A and B are shown apart, each in its own frame.
Chain A
Amino acid sequence: MAEKTVPSVQPEPAARREETRAQERYIIPPVDIFETKDGLTVIADLPGVEQQALDVRVADGVLTLQGNTKHIAPGTPIAQEYELLNFYRQFELPDAVDADRISAQLTHGVLALHLPKKERAKPRQITVQVS
């Protein structure tokens, strides 16, 4: 069985926001995507994103995740190992996904999205009648 705990760190081209002269810089959040009989589940690590600051939308078959982050520790910095930037990532959805029934949940900085398949895209057992 393939080792799944440590993901491959090979750079893969994710959809990036168009380069502009805007001040914002973005982080591509790491995601898990897996498929079940009923649909796809997308799980993304978005630390530091509040529910109000999270924007999940589907338009033209493209799923966009965008989250604005905020540090919560007060005081003046002494040592910094990370910088919280805003998150941005896009995915092209397959036609089988029913965009109207997507549900999302945010717990402890982890976003879980459930993308159900359309009824006609589900596998269906056909009983053969013997006459």
Chain B
Amino acid sequence: MDSSGQPLIVLKGVTRIFGKGQAAVEALRGVDLRIDAGEFVAVMGPSGSGKSTCMNILGCLDTPTAGSYLFKGVEVGELSRNSRALLRRHYQGFVFQGFNLLNRTSALENVELPLIYRGATAAERKRRALQALETVGLKGWETHTPGELSGGQQQRVAIARAIVTGPEVLLADEPTGNLDTARSREIMELLTLLNRESGITIIMVTHEPDMAAYAKRTVRFLDGRVASDERNGRGN
């Protein structure tokens, strides 16, 4: 949350339609959502409920067909593809279900990748990447490639890559979808820690109520609309 008191994310009547005419599919039908800095939001809902489309829009990978998406007060729908890429680069981190690491590339180089695009010096890159890897508990694994790491470790590398630039928001799309329960809990504890210690806003899509319970707030999607939005009793 910045000092102006402005919310981090505001969606107003966001609609997203794929295709045209008869074949048109309405993935989002007027979504209103407000997320403040420092929140930890779990997004739930059945397949086809529009939560992934909403995540793509939140991550500036896609733009609304109608409605408004304000990120830090900026109307994202009006930005060019390049400006949206810069927004992602400077304020957002991504964690995916499938880890999406570059294979045959060491953990360190994977984590360095966003810093290369930000134009950091080699020394700076290395320092921050090592630090991020330490934060996610992978000290000593820097030279291992994804193929040599377990699923849980790969997801930690992905999280390190997402937070290495110090983003304001971390967008996680089913980060525990490919992991067993024990590994999933470790990842959720890591995210909780990041949210609490670094104050990073986390928006996470998940199918599992157990994982959603780690968040402070749960938003449920149904048929392209927000069906429910409630604070979690457990919280942190």
A binds B: no
